[in-house]
A and B are shown apart, each in its own frame.
Chain A
Amino acid sequence: MDAGVLSERLRSVLAPVLGGDVTVGGLERLPGGASRETWVFDASRPGRETVKLVLRRDPEGAPASGLRLEAGLLEAAAREGVPVPKLVLCGDAGTGLGSTFMVVEHTEGETIPRRILRDETLAAARAHLAEGCGEALAAIHRIPVASVPGLPSGDPLEQLRLLIDRLGEPHPAFEIAFRWLEHSRPPSGGEVVVHGDFRNGNLIVGAEGIRAVLDWELAHVGDPLEDLGWLCVKAWRFGSPLPVGGFGEVEQLTSAYERAGGLQVDHAALRWWEVLGTLRWGVICIVQTLTHVSGAVRSVELAAIGRRVCEVEWDLLELLT
């Protein structure tokens, strides 16, 4: 479907929501995203301000992904006060765009981690970003599990074990981490809606702080500390010495999380989840580089990521020994 046809179809699916006199212009596909397309466009109506919207959709002919579930998550998150892009519409292949899709309002702001960590105009926001993350995570963890039916669950340590065994690339440092994780497991912090990829890189940041939490693809039901531990993984610091996303201290994150109604954070348990997150990032590096090595997706970026596994091995040894 070319941009002209897609514009016309978008116009007709948006008409019932935005009014019959809506027009669609400036449709442009954003680079990246082999498994999911992202388009931006303007929706205009006579006498009203033009709004910039974002279309995310599955490639035509591909099996439906979790986009509908994500749309439900965005609405549930908004109800709890999580900053998220505002959902305009979602639909399945029969709705008129040829595949499952969702349309959200475009959120202005910065998403590129290095700029979030270095941009002068974001200096004030940066100083309180860890607190903002604590507040957003407390709100995410308040989402009633029953309000988002269909979220996956399961033991993340067991899932990681199965995944790495399937990859056939054993690493002694990873086994040291597995042994430690198996023997030091903290008591469960409860079962909540976990974002699953809450980190520097999946946040839209403006001068006043977090404007939107993106990429809900990995959301599931699990332990709330999983999200906090993942945010502290060294890979998301992008060279900065600050442990929380490269912009803050652990104390800023946990005290804001607690003040906003999140559970009391046991720091030993948080460390366990940071180790698990670090190990998970190491396994993801292997998965990504194998998509290049196998020939499924050829890319120098994916090739290079395989040689980052040793950074993660080093991080694990530093955390554990």
Chain B
Amino acid sequence: MNEAGLPFPPPDAQSGEHVSDGASSHQASEADHLYRPHDLPTLTQLVDSVRTFLESDVLPNSAGRTRFHARVAVNVLGMVLRELELGPGQAADHAERLSSLGVSSEEELAAAIRSGALDDRVAEVVEVVRATVADKLAVAHPGYTEAGRAAPPTPADPT
């Protein structure tokens, strides 16, 4: 108990509201997808725990359709983790690329390509679309864009 009779340390012992004590091994911030007031684990850590469970407990102990779906689910959670990490930066890059072509959304860009309004800037359009698709693949299927060799298999391949 302190002088005021409350179970808190004195104010000067606290460094601030956010958990940012460099000495802590559980350091987390918004970059790790911890949105206060929520507690640890971070979003990333939660998703990763489910992925690990599916991978090491469910997959080896399942068969047939369940096993196939468990493999798809592991893959999906991998996507979620990559999107958590890369998504915000990709969204900003995407908006910037779109504005370089004078449009503000995928819908507008699609409509402009369809109408021929961007026919005199084909090379630029292709470059923008390619960069956007490459970003989507970096989340959905890393390695797919590497030329000269077959892309790693996707568990969600149609059978």
The answer to whether B144 and A314 have CB atoms under 8 Å apart is yes
| B30 on the A face (CB < 8 A) | no
C-alpha spacing A252/B75, complex, angstroms: 35
The answer to whether A173 and B140 have CB atoms under 8 Å apart is no
The answer to whether A304 and B153 have CB atoms under 8 Å apart is no
- B145's partner among A32, A112, A174, A314 (CB-CB below 8 A) is A314
At the interface with chain B, which of A72-80, A98-106, A237-245?
A237-245
- Chain A residues 271-321 with CB under 8 Å of chain B are 299-301, 303-305, 307-308, 310-311, 313-314, 317, 321
The closest CB in chain B to the CB of A31 belongs to: B65
| B73 on the A face (CB < 8 A) | yes
Q: Which chain B residues border A305 with CB–CB below 8 Å?
A: 156, 158
At the interface with chain A, which of B2-10, B12-20, B45-53, B125-133?
B125-133
The answer to whether A317 and B140 have CB atoms under 8 Å apart is no
C-alpha spacing A314/B144, complex, angstroms: 9
The closest CB in chain B to the CB of A179 belongs to: B113
Q: Which chain B residues border A43 with CB–CB below 8 Å?
A: none
| B150 on the A face (CB < 8 A) | yes
C-alpha spacing A141/B117, complex, angstroms: 41
| B159 on the A face (CB < 8 A) | yes
- B152's partner among A201, A237, A239, A310 (CB-CB below 8 A) is A239
The answer to whether A304 and B72 have CB atoms under 8 Å apart is yes
| B154 on the A face (CB < 8 A) | yes
B interface, size bucket: 35 or more
Q: Which chain A residues border B158 with CB–CB below 8 Å?
A: 201, 235, 305
Q: Which chain B residues border A176 with CB–CB below 8 Å?
A: 113, 125-126, 129
The answer to whether B156 and A308 have CB atoms under 8 Å apart is yes
The answer to whether B65 and A171 have CB atoms under 8 Å apart is no
Q: Which residue among A31, A112, A321 has the maximum number of chain B CB atoms within 10 Å of its CB?
A: A321
| B38 on the A face (CB < 8 A) | no
Q: Which chain B residues border A241 with CB–CB below 8 Å?
A: 149-150
Q: Which chain B residues border A301 with CB–CB below 8 Å?
A: 68-69, 72, 156
- Chain A residues 20-47 with CB under 8 Å of chain B are 31-32
Return B136 CB to nearest CB of chain A, in Å. 4
Return A32 CB to nearest CB of chain B, in Å. 8
- B110's partner among A112, A170, A238 (CB-CB below 8 A) is A170
| B151 on the A face (CB < 8 A) | yes
Q: Which residue among A172, A178, A237, A301 has the maximum number of chain B CB atoms within 10 Å of its CB?
A: A172
C-alpha spacing A179/B109, complex, angstroms: 14
C-alpha spacing A180/B139, complex, angstroms: 28
| B120 on the A face (CB < 8 A) | no
Cβ proximity bits B49-79 to A, threshold 8 Å, 1 near / 0 not: 0000000000000001100110011011001
C-alpha spacing A31/B65, complex, angstroms: 8
- B76's partner among A32, A304, A321 (CB-CB below 8 A) is A304
Q: Which residue among B110, B126, B136 has the maximum number of chain A CB atoms within 10 Å of its CB?
A: B110
Return B144 CB to nearest CB of chain A, in Å. 6
| A175 on the B face (CB < 8 A) | yes
Return B80 CB to nearest CB of chain A, in Å. 10
Cβ proximity bits B137-148 to A, threshold 8 Å, 1 near / 0 not: 101110011000
The answer to whether A317 and B144 have CB atoms under 8 Å apart is no
- B133's partner among A113, A237, A304, A314 (CB-CB below 8 A) is A314
C-alpha spacing A199/B159, complex, angstroms: 11
Q: Which chain B residues border A201 with CB–CB below 8 Å?
A: 158-159
- B79's partner among A112, A235, A239, A307 (CB-CB below 8 A) is A307
C-alpha spacing A173/B129, complex, angstroms: 6
| B39 on the A face (CB < 8 A) | no
The answer to whether A303 and B113 have CB atoms under 8 Å apart is no
Return A35 CB to nearest CB of chain B, in Å. 16
The 9 closest A-B pairs by CB, nearest first: A170-B110, A310-B136, A175-B113, A304-B156, A307-B140, A239-B153, A313-B133, A172-B109, A175-B110
**Sample of 20 A–B contacts (CB below 8 Å):** A114-B153, A172-B106, A172-B109, A172-B132, A173-B133, A176-B129, A235-B158, A239-B150, A300-B69, A300-B72, A301-B72, A304-B72, A307-B139, A308-B140, A311-B137, A311-B140, A311-B144, A311-B154, A314-B133, A321-B130
